[in-house]
Amino acid sequence: MLILGGALIFIAALSLCLGSAALSVQTTIRSIFSGHNTTAHNILFEIRLPRIILGFAIGGALSLSGVILQGLFRNPLVEPYTMGISGGAALGVSMAIILKIYQSVGLVTLPFAGFLGAVSVIMLIYTINIRNKTLKMQGLLLTGVMISFISSSFIMLIMAISRTEDLHGIIFWIMGSLEEPNWFLIKLMLFISLAGLSLSYIFWKDLNALRLGEEEAAHLGINTERAKRALFVLASILTGCAVSVGGIIGFVGLIIPHFMRMFVGSDHRVLLAGSFLGGAGFLIFCDTLARTLVAPSELPVGVITGILGGSFFIYALARKGKSGA
């Protein structure tokens, strides 16, 4: 945990210094503590620091959701976006863009529309798969995948009939970005993310027991139905909030839990916090690359997480296959 915390602080400090306008370590420290309205001070506190805080919150939330869902389904390929929550959020944002609701209400409409879309999907999946107060796990997964496909089809339909400026907004949002100037949304996402981490520790024993299967967990005295419902709702809300604010940022909730299990083990007492820190550091690092690789232009952070996350995942599978052979 100390290594992960130290790596996160180092990546955040590096992200403060790097960008289209590179700042030296001395300039960065002086601008932080001087309080003067200088160019460097404005760059740090109006552009880079908000992105670092948002990357910490969204990366931690997505990775934490991935750990919870993988433990819940006992399936290492399950990630937050498998449940169709991202599809619902993307559909809500696409509808808000094409109907131009943001022109009358403001840009905060887009995260709100995304959250409504995500919550609608959560409620639909939950309602379909709850039977006699029992949550059917396989039904949850299959329903989520199907809703994800349906949402993607509707989004493609909207994109096909959209005008050029609306199409650009939808595509840019879908590819993910940490460029959020609204401090209220940043603080709200940070609070939700840390609250989710705190609440997840209520169920660390449940997650450890569920690794053995539902029957074994029940024999150990775990109220499996209560745990399944609470963990599903918690992971879904974390994912919905993260997608609503940052767009669809892939692979964070899939690859980070894998590497954290290799690094800290499978005990959820350490794995939950370790994955949160690992996801936060990974997303901040990817956002730093997105800002600097083609500076002064900027790449969508979802592109970087997809390339790095997919490459790391293939590398991990290849190493595991060789060691198994």
DSSP string over 242-261: HHHHH----SHHHHHHHHHH
SS3 134: strand
pLDDT score for 325? 45
- The CA distances from residue 306 to 52, 228, 248, 270, in Å, are 19, 29, 11, 26
Containing structural domain, residue 251: 2-324
| Span 70-114, pLDDT tens digits | 988 888 888 888 888 888 888 888 888 888 776 666 667 888 888
Angle between helices 268-292 and 252-264 (to 10 degrees): 130
- The model's pTM: 0.90
| Span 232-256, pLDDT tens digits | 889 989 998 898 888 888 889 888 9
What is the domain count for the chain? 1
Mean pLDDT of the chain: 86
| Span 105-138, pLDDT tens digits | 666 788 888 888 888 988 888 888 887 777 887 7
Query: What CATH code is carried by the domain that includes residue 212?
Result: 1.10.3470.10
Asked whether 283 and 294 are in contact (CB, 8 A), the reply is no
Distance of CA 225 to the CA centre of its chain: 26
Cα radius of gyration rounded to whole Å, the chain: 20
Q: In the predicted model, is pLDDT for residue 271 greater than 90?
A: yes
Residue found by looking up tokens 């915390």 in the block: 5
Torsion of CA 19, 240, 314, 18, to 10 degrees: 10
User: Running DSSP on this structure, what letter comes out for residue 83?
Assistant: G
